[in-house]
Amino acid sequence: MKNEKHTIKHFELSPQAKAGIVIVNMEDQEVEEHDVSNPHRDNHCQLMVAVKGEFRLNIDFEIIEFTAPALICVFPEAVHYVSEVKDPKGWMISFDPSLINKEVLQLLENKFNNPFLLHQESVFFQQIIILFDLMEKVQLQDTNSYIQKSINSLLNAILSLIAGELVANLPAEKGKENRSIAIKENFIKLSKEHFKIWKQPAQYASALSISTSHLNDTVKSLTGSPVSAHIQEASIMEAKRLLYFTEQTVKEIAYEVGYNEPVYFGKLFKKITKLTPLEFRKKFRDKDYPSPH
């Protein structure tokens, strides 16, 4: 119906996820728990290792195209879908992020770029494949608490291995520079969690136990943009999702992303995207995206 309000489909972990983790083999012919070809978001993380195949995905309006081998990681709340897959082989793990070591999870959120292309001859690739294969085999065993602990340990081993590979490819970070990067990354994490309510840089500085000026100087020196711009960008990203994937009005979306003045929101949206909210909705619905209806 024309006036029906459409929402972004939001999926929880599959009932097959014992103790918050499930691994699925891409060659398994069973029907998916939900339709991954339509835009949706999850309340959990998804980690995919593609051993073979060609893939085309969309994650928050960014088209990701690659040929295996590669890793893909989708974090909670990101709107995503698979638009094309050819001859896939590999595994997909869905898991509750609360089960993961916080330091490892934060490093993945800050440093992981999709797709993470792999080299088939590398030791890292061989280790990843061994662990995914072992995890699938362990999952097939009769379930008891110790089997689930084993699966949890294997997942953390996989993620820690990936984190180690990410760190190994980063430039050396020491002393003051390392501290600055930690401040920036913690701020970005907070902005994604609280952008709807925390609109002032001082609120983030308080949460990080530093001065507002120190936070702003640090973030701007590392990203080129002030704290306020990052807060606005987090709001605008959520607004984009709602504009495309729902039938909410611009006014309703403004309120939902934390702006009580729709006119101000409209001006801010155009300043950042170069389009009005309605222009964005019209333009992107004519592009390479499945219909939200």
Give the pLDDT confidence of 170-217 residue by residue, as tens digits: 766 555 568 898 899 899 999 999 999 999 999 999 999 999 999 999
CATH for the stretch 9-168: 2.60.120.280
**pLDDT at 30 exceeding the cut of 80:** no
| Fold (CATH) for 176-285 | Arc Repressor Mutant, subunit A (1.10.10)
More confident residue, 245 or 125: 125
Rounded CA-CA distance 43/33 in Å is: 14
Position 3 scores a pLDDT of 40
Within this chain, domains 9-168 and 176-285 share the same CATH topology: no
Count the Cβ atoms, other than its own, within 10 Å of residue 121. 7
**pLDDT at 87 exceeding the cut of 60:** yes
Which class for 174: exposed (0-12), middle (13-18), buried (19 or more C-beta within 10 A)? exposed
**pLDDT at 231 exceeding the cut of 60:** yes
pTM to 2 decimals? 0.77
Pairing of strands 40-42, 45-59: unpaired
H or E stretch at 190: helix 175-194
Rounded CA-CA distance 129/115 in Å is: 17
Sequence spans of domains, the chain: 9-168, 176-285
Confidence of residue 107 (pLDDT cuts 50, 70, 90): confident
| pLDDT single digits (tens) 41-67 | 898 999 999 999 999 999 998 999 999
Average predicted confidence (pLDDT) for the chain: 88
Which positions ≥6 away from 212 have C-beta within 8 Å? 201, 202, 205, 227
